[in-house]
Amino acid sequence: MRNDILIDAVSVKNKIDTENVILLDTSWHLPTSDRNAKIDYENGHIENAYFFDIDAMSQPDAPFPHTMPSHDWFAEKMGSLGFSDQDHYILYDQSPLFSSARVWWMLKNFGANNVKILNGGLKAWTDAGFYLTDQAPASRNKVEFSLKNKEYSCIYYQDVHKALDQENIQILDARSSGRFSGSADEPRPGLSSGHMPGALNLPFNVLLDDNGYMKPASELEAIIADLGILKTNQIITTCGSGVTAAVIFLALTCLGYNDINLYDGSWTEWASTEKAPIIKG
């Protein structure tokens, strides 16, 4: 299992004051959670951590939630905040491991090559005995965020629709079993639940232990094997709006899978598209 992505709380503590290390609170909550990630951040965060607002860093005026922005727009936005593609990023969630996977995936797509995630999130930090602060870090001077060496693993509706009939492509859906089967409602009003034809259900929380840490490689491999997922196939990950799909993407990357793409519009786009096939049960 790759050990260059997930990082423990003690290692984060040792890197906080290191030059070119950017700590980002990447928290985001589902619309039904009654939580505000920015307010939670202001009430207490890791020292020197900046708040990364997923929605504010997404494509403006897009029809679906937190859509991936254009490369140039993202680079300009990051540079204006003082963040470079050459910086070393450490991400964490207020939830154990959730939206940090999405931001990790975004940064990798835009060319940041050194990005790590605090395994276990903010709880891992406080469980290690480290304190939180409500003091905002100092603003940073504008820099250049270069778009060199970017990798692109974002795909769209037409790509997924074409993949439905291809035996060498497997679609993994990170939503709950109820939403996947159609027996539970979607959190977004008016959106039908169900799943794409041929998709497999892999709820993202199955990949985490009871404390919110990514499970060890042996357990992840067993989960993947039980679903019949093959390393030789292309994998498409999806969810409700492209956030928890990144948790599956992260787990597979840690296991050494390479041919993975994330469906950015995910179920919000699929179920909103006329004539998109939806399976119940």
DSSP SS3 for 69 = coil
Tell me how far apart the alpha carbons of residues 133 and 45 are, in angstroms, rounded to a whole number. 5
pTM > 0.85: yes or no: yes
Which residues does 88 contact at the CB level (< 8 Å), separation at least 6? 15, 18, 20, 21, 22, 114, 115, 116
Tell me how far apart the alpha carbons of residues 182 and 97 are, in angstroms, rounded to a whole number. 26
Whether 154 is catalytic is no
Which residues does 251 contact at the CB level (< 8 Å), separation at least 6? 207, 214, 220
Sheet holding 88-92, edge to edge: 6-7, 115-118, 88-92, 21-25, 49-51
- Domains, the chain: 6-127 (3.40.250.10), 154-270 (3.40.250.10)
pLDDT in tens, the chain (281 residues): 787 999 999 999 999 888 899 999 999 998 788 899 999 999 999 999 999 999 999 999 999 999 999 999 999 999 999 999 999 999 999 988 999 999 999 999 999 999 999 999 999 999 999 999 999 999 999 999 998 777 889 999 999 999 998 999 999 999 999 999 999 999 988 999 999 999 999 999 999 999 999 999 999 999 999 999 999 999 999 999 999 999 999 999 999 999 999 999 999 999 999 999 999 99
Nearest alpha-carbon partner for 42 in 52, 53, 29, 51: 51
Tell me how far apart the alpha carbons of residues 201 and 240 are, in angstroms, rounded to a whole number. 12
Tell me how far apart the alpha carbons of residues 120 and 126 are, in angstroms, rounded to a whole number. 10
Residue with tokens 């984060």: 12
Which of these is catalytic: 12, 107, 122, 239?
Answer: 239
